[in-house]
Structure 1
Amino acid sequence: MFNNSFNLGVSISALLVCIVNLIYTFIERRTDKTQNRIFISMICILIVNSISGMITGIYGDNPGESGYIYQVFQVSKYAYFVTHTALCPLFFYYVCCLSFVSNKMKSMKAKLIFMPFFITEILAVTNPLTHYVWSYKDGEGFHREWGEFLIYIAALIYYILSFVILGRTWKVISGKRKAALVFFFALVGVGVFLQLIKKDFKVEVLAEAVGFTGVLIAVENEDDRIDFGMGFYNRAALRLDIGSCLRNRRDLHIIIMYIHNYDLIDRIVGDEDTNIIADILSDYLKSITKRYNIYVPDKDKIVMTFYSDVYSDADRIAERIAERFDETWIYKDYTVQFNVSVILADLPDQITSTSELFYMIENPVPADNEKKVLKGEDLQFIMRRRAVESALSRGFTENSYEVYYQPTYHINRRLHGAEALIRMHDGQLGNLYPDEFIPVAEQCGLIDDIDDFVLEEVCRFVSTGIPQKCGIDNINVNLSVIQCMRPHFVERINEIVERYNVEKSFINFEITETIAANDYEILSGTIQRLKEEGFLFSMDDYGTGYSNVSAIFSLNLDVIKIDKSLLWGAEKSELGMVILENTIRMICQMKKKILVEGVETLEQIRLLEKLGVDFLQGYYFSKPIPKDDFIKHIEKASAAVR
């Protein structure tokens, strides 16, 4: 039905497809992983099979019984069966590598899985002596023997086993890989079936070649897994790979590196063509482990995986990494010093899910911890953070939140206003302070609710008329940049304040210098809209960030709050005094009101009087106190004035 010319064309097509796949694989330089090498081996097998098919297409299955052509025919058939017998077992092992179960192939039980391959391969290799797989009979040409059917049965076994392995890890395989592997299984199945029922319809190798093209495009091509700016695997790849390891109970040592000063280094040495990890750290990281064991889930975090059955000295590796980061790095004309924390954790002993791993990655690590490597009991801070998250979640239902007030005074020590500060009293953890729970609230998405709670409590208090009666000019409410970026933020603020019929000029929103430095363009529009409504704005903690001064003062702020560190520094050194004096002089020249935080002594007040500031805040007057105590405080201060 199908002549030799047709089969020759099919074989040439298969050969061309395989050669293109092989060339593309080397161009992309995807040759270092075990799965890459197996893929290349399978493509080479198909190239041999295609050449064998071409010889059959040229000379047919009955080229005579002697001479050069006969010898070529015999060699080509021998090469075909010896190599093709290994194709399905190799594909099975390829799937095992993709699914992170290849390490299990080392056990005695797993080795039994390859017995069908060993048996059929021996049949193929010894066929010139036994003729159990195929034979060449007088007058009949090429003839299949019972051994070939054993080869097909063995291939079917590995075909099914591959499906079983994929089924077990189906949930942790990307959609693109799923589609490619299903395409391969379907196409190869059709090709084998057609060639079995129509012996002269030799399309099996072409079907396999085209199927492997799909695998090349979707599996071997890892564009969706690689961060090209970094040159390493990305967040999605880490999630899938760790999920596969957990699914198949693959033990791992995981080293996480947190670069605390990434942004600072990037500002100093970086430009649009520079990537710190790729340009400075890449060679060092690849000297520790293979490229495919390195992940960059965030720009300032690096994750390295070490299989327990391969690496037994993960502790020492982590220590060496920490020691190297204690030293400086030379990049172009710069000497770079990284501030890095290193965590070592084991999977599945300490990390039992991908969510736990990413929780650990995203969890802020103290930049000033004394230990070079955090491991074992050192990771208790993560448990503490989880406990804080739980406390935040139940805080509103258990009435754990409370607003404290710290009064502010005019320079003449007359009552001016107050700053509203959130506090938390959890039934299980006790008293929690903003420095601990606010960063957690920002990350877990509860900061909006907390900010709204503070504003509502302040408005409820102001609506009683007590602050106005005691001479309070306004109350400061801290504003998070996350809240500012919320849709309809201005409308929400107006709705809360107007609900309590509070004069908008009585609310003074505070933003931090760091926030303004990073997002002042976004904030500028929000601030302008709220100021048009009548609200006031202050810059909090001025002097602690790295902001652009002109950018800060373009925000049309009413008050600049100088951080306590500048005041305390002025008492300690002449340089500190120069910094404080010049800071105050500059703000005065820009015609902004000045409030100084951290006032604790009468001497500090006298110094600030000379320097010409407007308002004071600190423990000299009062620490932050609950509302009832604050009412007593301002009533007493008001009575003293009268």
Structure 2
Amino acid sequence: MGTINFEVAALCILLLNFFLFFSRSRLYLQQTRVFLILLLGTTFATVADIITVVMYWNVYRYSTGLLYAANILYYIFQNSVPLVFFIFLLALSGKTGAKRRFAIFLTAFPWMASLSLILTTPVTGWVFSFDPDYGYHRGAVLPLVYAIAFGYTLSGLGVFVRNRMRVSRETRIAIFLFLPFAFSTFIIQFFFPELLLQNLGISLSALIVLLTVQDFGKFTDHGTNLYNRNGLIVQLDLLLQKKRQSTVFLVSLDTVNFLRLVLGPESFSALEREIAGKLFGYAREDRFASLTGQGKFMLVIGDRAGLAVEREQLLRAFMSPWLFRDRLLSLSARICEVAMPEDTSSVPVLFQAQYELTRIQGQYPLNVIIPFGELGLSTTGRYQEISRKINRALITEGLSIVLQPIVSTRTGKTVAAEALVRLSDPSGALISPGEFIPVAEQNGSIHRIGDFVVREACKVYQNLRTRGFSLDYLEVNLSPIQCLQPNLPQRFLAIIREFGLAPQDLCFEITETAANHSPAVMKRNLDALVYAGFTIAVDDFGTGYSNIGGLMDLPFRIVKIDRSLIEAMDRSKNGKLGLEGVVSMFRHMSTQLVAEGVETADQVSRVQEMGIDFIQGYYYSRPVPPEAFMEFLAKEGSVCTG
């Protein structure tokens, strides 16, 4: 047993390491967590070594069992440090992903073997032993335990060298500086056990790593102690890689230039620091904030359980004046809430959304949290992202259609179907029509999408006839933008002729509010479609607040009652009376009625009692691909008309 001078020095350096680790901003990377375990393991080993030496000063006061226990703890911690260092080097090299966890588990077997040797040493004496006079002796297999520890260090170094180009030059230098301290003291203590240098070498090496590899100053805004843009990007990427749902609040102070002018740059920076401290606090792995520009912040919440509290806190912060340096400041902010990955999974989109939030003075309300969807998509990255996916889909067959049956209430058989467009990205993930259709309407690609849907619907209808199925028609949705094209009938006639179909085989759906878009042009074009032989249906009736007079001027023959009216029928007597009024009104106009969103047998029965002609909803089938739709028809049996 040696003196504890070197171990005490090691403990002081480790305390400095802990102070630096916890007092500075850090990224919540795998390597950061492993490095903390490395510090803890070295600290426990150092303390255990000090305890064993102090006990040996008065060895006769302690039982042999207590001496064995203290030394076993020391060897367990001491021989765990090389394994943790090995994993730390793997983390630096990017080799600790989920797919490699089993391989890492296998590499722990030598450590488990050394652990078994250490734990059984009171019986075997293989690692160390005490003689009857309490003399300490090294065991025969102690060199093997050291060899295992040495092997982990060399293995980790080998992985790091092979993947050295993945890390920065600064990181490579730090690791290669780490090794001389760790290796030299390791070898010295092996040959001169009275010199307890190993933990001193590791603690000095850890300090080098902490001041270099684990120095995340370049990811921090030192004025507010929040993450800067680079730190935010790294932390958000980690959340997205873990596929965790998170929420980002974009906070932009109003009249920033005025505040900077009145307060001065230094005082304005102090104000930002105060706002950061009061609103965001200390960074955690599941809650952190970033200063992304002058007076612009992003708050990331990884746990949505407390979202209501976060919203309330943000709004309350700007409801009353701020007391800042003996003056009251009226601060206001524009705040946007973004759900990731639902709204976007792209970090650059967040920066573009924050730019959009303050791009035009007064465009968005102050001190109100607005959803991401209310931002002007044309100037956000999400808009650009969807535009790219639409263009790619039009080239690479990323668009498809699905069909939902329309069933006669008289016969219970499918008489028609609605063709709905679907857009998927290269990964196969579907993008909601409610998101990509508005983008397509803005960038003009809606016309190409519309032509695609009509052509695919005609192809499916032709295939249905070839297989012996008989439907009255297929329905295709028309965007109001499409309805304003002057050559609409000619384009659709050209397409149906390619497949040998007649205009009566297609029914075009328009929304209830479509009449509000250039009513004269809309009526003229729809009249031309009807004159060409196509049928017009009003979709989602009951959701809009359209001019009924304008709607009645359109040449529709079918009205599709929105599911909201069907659900209202179930909820109250007034809802039922309202639906009966709609049915009565259109019945007097000799209009065919379709009930949408019917999901239960009770709804089917009540719809039939009201005299509605057709039913469309999940009760019969969800929208399905064409092949599945044909299987549905085959199971249903013979298909009736009308």
What TM-score do the two structures reach when normalised by structure 2?
0.45
What TM-score do the two structures reach when normalised by structure 1?
0.45
